[in-house]
Amino acid sequence: MSDLSTFLSTKKWPAQHPDRIQLYSLPTPNGVKVSIMLEETGLPYEPHLVRFDSNDQLSPEFLAVNPNNKIPAILDPNGPGGKPLPLFESGAILLYLADKAQRFMPQEAAGRYQTIQWLMFQMGGVGPMFGQVGFFHKFAGKDYEDKRPRDRYIGEAKRLLGVLDRHLAGRDWMMGSDYTIADIAIFPWVNVLNTFYGAGELVGMKDFTQVNRVLEVFLARPAVVRGLNIPPRP
């Protein structure tokens, strides 16, 4: 078994189970992508809460595993070659876990790259744009008198939802009948836009019938139900 004691992150978040993947996270849309994936695969892991209210993400211990000071990050004691592997960026972690578990990623090259393209669609479009809607509608941006920034991101969120809605017509999931990391990446962000951000009416969520259909099935999955609350907030 690998020795994790040399990793600074384990000083702040001691590993009770050093043989398991260590997850450093918070139940945000990016954070729950990884907890849902871990729950779906059944890979053994140990979650650790990174508290933003005490700036845990800026601590030397967290920066040692993610120099970009964003959640989530993992430390796998049994990485490639049997050596510990720290990893950050939720998209990279999803790809790594899919390869490790040999699940939720098509094995043929074409399907693999098509899945990755939708993962990149979430990372480069859905996440940043939906996050800006949340800032300008729910958080500090809501006090800005000039609503043009908010409306710009609302318009882009609607466009992205339209892309998803057209793509999902006649499909069970983003890749057709197969549930993949593309779904695990995209639908936590769709869910938070409609719930926590309270922007469903602003973006006309009710009009995207295919997105709503798949979101409902996604949220009913037992692993999703569990993963949405891991690690639990204090």
Write out pLDDT tens, residues 83-137. 999 999 999 999 999 999 999 999 999 999 999 999 999 999 999 999 999 999 9
The whole-number pLDDT of residue 11 equals 96
Banded model confidence at residue 143, pLDDT cuts 50, 70, 90: confident
Is the pLDDT confidence value at 140 over 90?
Answer: no
Average pLDDT value for residue range 193-198:
94
Cβ-proximal residues to 173 (8 Å cutoff; 6+ apart), any chain: 179, 180, 182, 183, 214
Write the pLDDT tens digit of every residue in 152-166: 999 999 999 999 999
Number of separate helices (H) and strands (E) present in the chain: 10, 4
- Per-residue pLDDT tens digits for 216-228: 999 999 999 999 9
- On the question of a cis peptide bond just before residue 44, with omega within 30 degrees of 0, the verdict is no
CA 149 – CA 133 distance, rounded (Å)? 9
Note the pLDDT tens digit of each residue in 43-56: 999 999 999 999 99
Tokens standing for residue 8: 């600074």
Cβ distance 203 to 161 under 8 Å?
Answer: yes
Please state the φ and ψ torsions of residue 129, each to the nearest 5 degrees: -75, -45
* Contact (Cβ atoms closer than 8 angstroms) between residue 35 and residue 23: yes
pLDDT digits (tens, 9 = 90+) for 20-34: 999 999 999 999 999
pLDDT tens for 59-82 read 999 999 999 999 999 999 999 999
